[in-house]
Amino acid sequence: MRHVQLALDASERGACKALGQPRSTERYDERVDAEEHELVRKHPRYGYRTDVRYAPTMRWGAILIAGLVGVACDAPQHASITKEPALNQEPTVDAGGSGSTVQAEPSEGCDVQLIVLDLDHWDSASRAERHGAATSIGGELSAFDFLRLERFESGRVMHEVAVFRHDVTGLEFSLVPGGRALLGAPDCADWVSFRHPFLISRTEMTRGAWSRVMGESAAFPGGPDFSHDGLGSGDRPTVRHPVERVSWPVAVEFCNRVGLELPSEAQWEYACRAGSRGEWCFGNDRSKLSTYAWAEPHTNRHRSAEVAQLRPNAFGLFDVHGNVQEICADRPRAAGTPLSEEPNREGAPLLRVARGGHVNYASVSCSAAASVAKDRHRISGQTHTGFRPALTLRFLR
């Protein structure tokens, strides 16, 4: 039987490694479940607990009070990606020409729960009400700062999104309101309800954000270069490239360390579609794929690209199609089992779901509904596998 270890040495390397080789036995399923509880601390969402240093505070009084006060938004009109950021500094992203920063006027009052628990209510609210709700939420999250409201359009869908910055990683996150959405492929779609809004990173986890947490000398999942892609060590990535060859335990441990989590499969698709019912976030026009995704046949690349180079979806998320596939919290569902807001904890314990496809996938395999199963521990064979962190706002329900 494979004995899997996750070694964390924050003082020297700060990197996660999966060791050993797998071999199936009758009792291996039980062993894997036990290992999950040994790897990370308890969290009520999918069996683990977030580090309390970065857990959001839950002061309802402050939410209600802050919701009654609108604060003018003085964010710059256009943030851009710096060309040569320091290794421990994550670049700021903008919408690549498809987003616009919104100047909010003071609000005389807003119902925070009403606005953020339903996407339709969020879209129909005034700018000042959205700004007031986002300000209230930012005041309750010790590790996040509310930056601005920004409009994004993809296909025929447009949303005005509240953008937050995560202090620990430096990544920008979009606020995704709750609501009800039709998810899945057209021939097997199901309505899924989201009781809680959530924050999700606008980009895949980058090497710059990884170094910011683990230290500049920390090893990266899969090694420091792209030699595993056959391109040689001379073709080195930058801090704006996504981390790759990430196993599920490594992604979970990193998220727990900084007070985040992996999104459920349903949350990922809800955020990816951003209201679209097409094959991709922009609809069904395959000719537009090259403006949104690093994927075949619109690219001859054989390695991932820097994040945020193409157009975002209507929630301001970049690279939801192609580039690197993104690990979710779920185990694969049995055929015919509908998606749900919470991660699936039933089924094969060795496997975890990855979404979005990667740079070497055909366009159809990068669709919003496409899903693949990945070995939760293996590093070899996980090229072009990364993750996009999220945080469910459970104090809003």
Q: Which two tokens stand for residue 376?
A: 């939760």
Domains of the chain: 28-392 (3.90.1580.10)
How many Cβ atoms from other residues are within 10 Å of residue 44's Cβ?
A: 9
User: What DSSP element (H or E) covers 165?
Assistant: strand 157-166
Q: Report pLDDT for 102.
A: 52
Average pLDDT (233-239) is 72
Percent of the chain with pLDDT over 70: 66
Q: What integer best gives the mean pLDDT of the chain?
A: 75
Nearest to 68 by CA among 102, 115, 105, 106: 106
| pLDDT tens digits for range 167-209 | 999 999 999 999 999 999 888 899 999 999 999 999 999 999 9
Please give the pLDDT value at position 110.
65
Model confidence at 344: pLDDT above 90: yes
Mean pLDDT check: name the lowest of 90-104, 227-241, 254-268: 90-104
Better pLDDT: 97 or 49: 97
Residues 345-366 have pLDDT tens digits of 988 888 999 999 888 877 778 8
- Backbone dihedral angles phi then psi of residue 270, each to the nearest 5 degrees: -60, -45
> For 176, how many CA atoms within 13 A lie in the half-sphere containing its CB?
33
Which is nearest to 97 in space by CA: 292, 311, 272?
Answer: 311
pLDDT at 318 exceeding the cut of 90? yes
9 within 8 A of 15, measured Cβ to Cβ: yes
Looking at per-residue pLDDT, the higher value among 280 and 110 belongs to 280
Phi (first) and psi of residue 209, to 5 degrees: -70, -40
Tokens coding 67: 């919701």
Q: Tens digits of per-residue pLDDT, 4-35?
A: 333 333 333 333 333 233 333 334 344 445 55
State the Cα torsion 350-5-342-134 to the nearest 10°.
Answer: -140
Average pLDDT over residues 314-319: 98
| Residue 215: strand, helix, or coil | coil
* Arithmetic mean of pLDDT, 35-47: 47
Contact 39, 249 (CB under 8 A): yes
**pLDDT at position 259 over 70:** yes
The pLDDT assigned to 100 comes to 60
130 near 278, Cβ under 8 Å?
A: no
- Per-residue pLDDT of 84-133, as tens digits, reads 333 334 444 544 445 665 544 444 456 888 899 999 999 999 999 999 99
**Is the pLDDT reported for residue 316 higher than 90?**
yes
Q: How confident is the model at residue 47 (pLDDT cuts 50, 70, 90)?
A: very low
Average pLDDT over residues 316-324: 95
pTM (2 decimals)?
0.75
pLDDT, residue 6, reads 32
